[in-house]
Amino acid sequence: MAEPAIAAAHMSLGYAGRAVLRGLEFQVPTGSRVGILGPNGGGKTTLFRALTGEIEPLSGHLEVNATTATVAQTDRSRLDYPVSALDVATMGSLARLPWWKRPGRAERRRAREALAEVGLAELADSTFGDLSGGQRQRVLIARALTADAELLLMDEPFTGLDTTNEQRLEELIDSLAVKGRTVMIATHEVEQAERWDLVLCLNGEQISFGDPAVAISKPVLEATYGGHIVEIPGQPELGVLPAHHHHHDEGHEGAGQ
């Protein structure tokens, strides 16, 4: 059997010796699309930091058999980058080049290809900060593609995208996986995760992992989102969905704690 892209065993992650994510136990085959579900603070970004090597496991083992690039949880308030979309995409090549080498013509050509791959060929020379949130998101994905990463970590890439761009990004994720890239996507959309190959549910610990048809269930979603759940109209078999669009809702589930 082929070596998995990622193998985590008995792993816990955290900061300054304090665990925020425990019981990680999963293997991801190369070329899979993996949804990561979890509430705010559940540990999604922390897992990504471990996968890129930014933090070391507090305990257990982590094996990542792939070059990795992250599409960060975007800060859409930054509109002042005085650089073009092509410049941003070209920065991805820095991951591959020796420290003394600056990106040249070959790297810029690769960056243009990556922009074409995300449907932005005609906006290559636009100022990054002038692009829409969805377009900037795709430029950041192009940057990850320019890095030729085998494992792409997308941290809530759908946040703020309209339906058209959401659909384009889903198609892009599918085509990347078909080409053998492993893609992990942190998302708040349960229905989306149901369409991918694997799902990992986190809430300070691993709640479940596996084929979404098996690994997503009502008890799993309740454990994943705690009290922060609402009914999905017309989906009684699951019946719950994270109310992430309503962070500041009064929360009629009662005062609780």
Ligand X SMILES: Nc1ncnc2c1ncn2[C@@H]1O[C@H](COP(=O)(O)OP(=O)(O)OP(=O)(O)O)[C@@H](O)[C@H]1O
- Residue 17 beta carbon to ligand X: minimum distance, rounded to whole angstroms: 11
Contact flag: residue 15 with ligand X (CB under 6 A): yes
| Interface mask toward Mg ion for 8-47; x: CB under 5 A | ------------------------------------xx--
For ligand X, which is the closer residue by CB, 14 or 129? 14
Considering only residues 4, 38, 134, 242, which one is a binding residue for ligand X as defined by CB under 6 A?
A: 38
Of these partners, Mg ion, ligand X, none, which one is at the site of residue 103 (CB under 5 to 8 Å by kind)? Answer: none
- Residue 50 beta carbon to Mg ion: minimum distance, rounded to whole angstroms: 13
Length of the chain as a residue count: 257
Query: SS3 of 52, please?
Result: coil
Which tokens is 142 given?
Answer: 């192009």
CB 162 within 8 A of CB 6: no
- Amino acid identity for residue 132 in this structure: S
Considering only residues 42, 103, 157, 242, which one is a binding residue for ligand X as defined by CB under 6 A?
A: 42
Backbone conformation region of residue 16, classed left if phi is above 0, alpha if psi is from -120 to 50, else beta: left
Contact flag: residue 157 with ligand X (CB under 6 A): no
Closest CA to 95 of 70, 114, 116: 70
Contact flag: residue 228 with ligand X (CB under 6 A): no
Measured CA to CA in angstroms, residue 39 lies from 42, 238, 242, 243, 245 at distances of 5, 17, 7, 9, 12
Binding site for ligand X (CB under 6 A): 15, 20, 38, 40-46, 73
Contact residues: Mg ion, CB under 5 A: 44-45
